[in-house]
Chain A
Amino acid sequence: MADEFIKGLGIFTGAGLGWVVLAGWYRTPGFESTRQLISPASPSPANADLFNLLAIGLMDTLFWFAILGPLAFWVILPAVREASDTIDDRRNAE
């Protein structure tokens, strides 16, 4: 259980750190703005060059990785294991 926790926490902090750095470049119009980290990506992915396109894609990937990774290790995997254990227990009880 502790291993699953540190996996989720490592994904959350690591991917979140990478996302916040890239979002600081691409989704922050200014540091006195009220829409920091959540503004539309600039330059727009439609007419960005290759490196900017890669960075924007990596930013979105890291964002969803930081959301889905902990969700998988903290919620989904333990729930699946609990469910399978419960099913096994009921089968053995019968």
Chain B
Amino acid sequence: MSDTNTNTDTDTDTDTDGTEARTDGSGGPGIVAPDDETPSWRERKERTTGLSRLTYEYFERARREDQDLRTESDYVERDVLAFPTWPHETVRNLSIAAFFTGMIFFLSATMPPHIGSPANPSSTPAIILPDWYLYWSFGLLKLGPLNPELAILGGEKITADRTYGVLANVVVVGFVAIVPFLNKGSARRPVEQPFWSAVGVGGIVFAFTISLLAVKNLMPMDVDLLFDLTFLLPIVATTVTYAVLKTMREGYMYDLNRRYYRLRPPK
């Protein structure tokens, strides 16, 4: 472990060979400082090279630690390419949990309290709603204007509006269940599969707009306009996403990134 800093086991090139450009930080002194030259927090804060540099240093440090681990005698090669749970994943998860906990404290401390009147079990409220995460399903029950009135039945509807809403739930849930069989999810980022990314964005936007339709009694806008936007906005979002991602595929950075992110763990 003491001689790992010289990279004698892993580098076939000599560090002092200046003829070949080294882009992975392994040539020369590198950007990862030895432990006795680790910059102080003041020195770190005085760096003004930005987030990209910081990200690069972080991953370079992680790569260096991974390399040190590999040179240890008791290292066992695994098919896993990832960061260790401690400290990388744990520190990240703790910071995320601390952020959301702090946000809950902040909002509960600063927003005006809403203490509603006590529930009256003998009367049904004018507006009844499920919990917010079920608004999308509740909105699908309100698709009465889409229920066709068939001329062959003399203008009668073939199903009641409530049956139509339940069938709409079946259709939407069925589509969501089928998508994993149509697309295996091998893309690492949206730009690799613009069509399915556009479908996903459209689905997310539709989940949002259909949730707004569910609370149309509380929406400060025309209900007919809201009903139209519920179905138009997902189409617009799908089209825009597809166009943007398809355009990004033509760019130089896409080819460059694909070379990196298509890398797979070694077998």
How many A-B residue contacts, CB cutoff 8 Å?
A: 25
A21 touches B51 (CB 8 A): no
Do B107 and A34 touch (CB < 8 A)? Answer: no
With A2-B51, A21-B107 as given contacts, are A34 and B112 in contact (CB-CB < 8 Å)?
A: no
Q: A25-B112, A28-B112 are in contact. Are A3 and B50 (CB under 8 A)?
A: yes
The answer, among B112, B217, B220, for a CB contact under 8 Å with A24, is B112
Residues of B within 8 Å of A25, CB to CB, are 111-112
B189 to chain A, nearest CB (A): 15
A21 contacts B114, C-beta separation under 8 Å? no
Inter-chain contacts of B112 with A (CB < 8 A): 24-25, 28
Asked if A6 CB lies within 8 Å of chain B CBs, one says yes
B204: chain A residues within 8 A (beta carbon): none
- Considering the chains assembled together, what is the distance between the CA atoms of A31 and B127 in angstroms? 13
Q: Please state if A21 and B110 are interface contacts (CB–CB under 8 Å).
A: yes
Contacts of A6 in B (CB 8 A): 51
Q: A6 CA to B116 CA in the complex, in Å?
A: 39
With A21-B107, A24-B111 known as contacts, the answer to whether A38 contacts B220 (CB < 8 A) is yes
Measured between C-beta atoms, what is the minimum distance from B119 to chain A in Å?
Answer: 13
* B51 A34 Cβ-Cβ under 8 A: no
Q: A21-B110, A21-B111 are in contact. Are A34 and B220 (CB under 8 A)?
A: yes
How many A residues face the partner with a CB closer than 8 A? 13
- Asked if B218 is at the interface of the complex by the 8 Å CB criterion, the answer is yes
A15–B36 Cα gap in the complex (Å)? 42
A-side contacts of B217, CB under 8 Å = 34
The distance from the CB of A29 to the nearest CB of chain B, in whole angstroms, is: 11
Cross-chain contact B50 with A34 (CB below 8 angstroms): no
> Is B171 on the interface with A (CB-CB < 8 A)?
no
Task: Mark out the residues of chain A between 33 and 80 whose CB falls within 8 Å of any chain B CB in the assembled complex.
Answer: 34-35, 38
Instruction: Convert B217-241 into 0s and 1s, putting 1 for each residue whose CB lies closer than 8 angstroms to a CB of A.
Output: 1111000000000000000000000
Residue on A with the closest CB to B111? A24
B101 at the A/B interface (Cβ < 8 Å)? no
CA distance A2 to B53 in the complex (A): 11
Task: Write the nearest CB–CB distance from A56 to chain B, whole angstroms.
Answer: 15
Residues of A contacting B107 in the complex (Cβ-Cβ under 8 angstroms): 21
Closest to A1 in B: B52
Q: Which residue of B lies closest to A38 (CB)?
A: B220
Chain A residue contacts of B106, Cβ below 8 A: 17
CA A21 – CA B109 in complex, angstroms? 10
Closest to B55 in A: A2
Residues of A within 8 A of B (CB): 2-3, 6, 17, 21, 24-25, 28, 31-32, 34-35, 38
Contacts from B to A (Cβ < 8 Å): 50-52, 106-107, 110-112, 114, 116, 217-220
